[in-house]
């Protein structure tokens, strides 16, 4: 399965909610939907990251493929960019760490120049909002539905950088 196939889960939910959100005037209910989008976003990010590493391992060697499958079974939302770089990519060598850093830096500059938004901040914010919703039951009152969906879409670029990095 391609790592991008995992995004469809959240993309379909967001497409449905786009029509629903226009009719919601209750801020509490709107915040719950924002929380659901945050949870779905991090879930598909996590699934995509697992897919990328497992695919990389399997293409290198069947034993490495089995190891990566077992190793990434339980990453449980530990997908911040620093964790990806220092705990996951570093296992495969500094060459991949440097490649990821280079791709991420270029993508960040491009995002700032073209969209006026930091893809690293978007990605990080989605994770933070998910954690606040999942562990504390709340979403910051300043986050809007359009902001969470834009942050999710922009954050996908981090996953794309990882996929481009982890190629043989």
Q: What is the DSSP letter of 2?
A: -
Q: What is the pLDDT of residue 65?
A: 85
pLDDT digits over 33-91, tens only? 999 999 999 999 999 999 999 999 999 898 988 989 888 888 877 999 999 999 999 99
pLDDT(135) > 90? no
| Phi, psi angles (nearest 5°) of residue 144 | -105, 165
Tell me: pLDDT of 112 over 80: yes
* pLDDT average, residue stretch 114-138: 93
* Residue 74: per-residue pLDDT: 80
User: Per-residue pLDDT averaged across 145-157, rounded?
Assistant: 97
Question: Are the beta carbons of 73 and 49 closer than 8 angstroms?
Answer: no
User: CB under 8 Å to 112, separation ≥6 — which residues?
Assistant: 118
What pLDDT is stored for residue 137 in this prediction? Answer: 80
CA distances from 34 to 10, 12, 103 (A): 12, 15, 30
Looking at per-residue confidence, does 25 or 121 come out higher?
121
């Amino acid at each position: 399965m391609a790592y991008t196939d995992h995004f469809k889960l959240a993309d379909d939910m967001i497409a449905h909610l786009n029509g629903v959100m226009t009719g919601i005037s209750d801020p509490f209910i709107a915040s719950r939907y924002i929380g659901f989008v945050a949870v779905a976003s991090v879930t598909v990010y996590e699934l995509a990251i697992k897919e990328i590493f497992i695919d990389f391992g399997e293409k290198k060697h069947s034993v490495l493929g089995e190891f990566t499958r077992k190793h990434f079974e339980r990453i449980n939302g530990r997908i911040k960019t620093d964790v990806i770089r220092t705990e996951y990519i570093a296992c495969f060598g500094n060459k991949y760490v440097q490649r990821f850093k280079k791709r991420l830096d270029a993508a960040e500059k491009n995002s700032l120049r073209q969209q006026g938004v930091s893809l690293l901040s978007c990605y990080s914010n989605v994770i933070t909002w998910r954690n606040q919703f999942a562990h504390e039951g709340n979403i910051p009152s300043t986050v809007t539905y359009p902001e969470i969906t834009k942050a999710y879409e922009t954050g996908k670029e981090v996953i794309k950088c990882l996929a481009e990095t982890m190629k043989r």
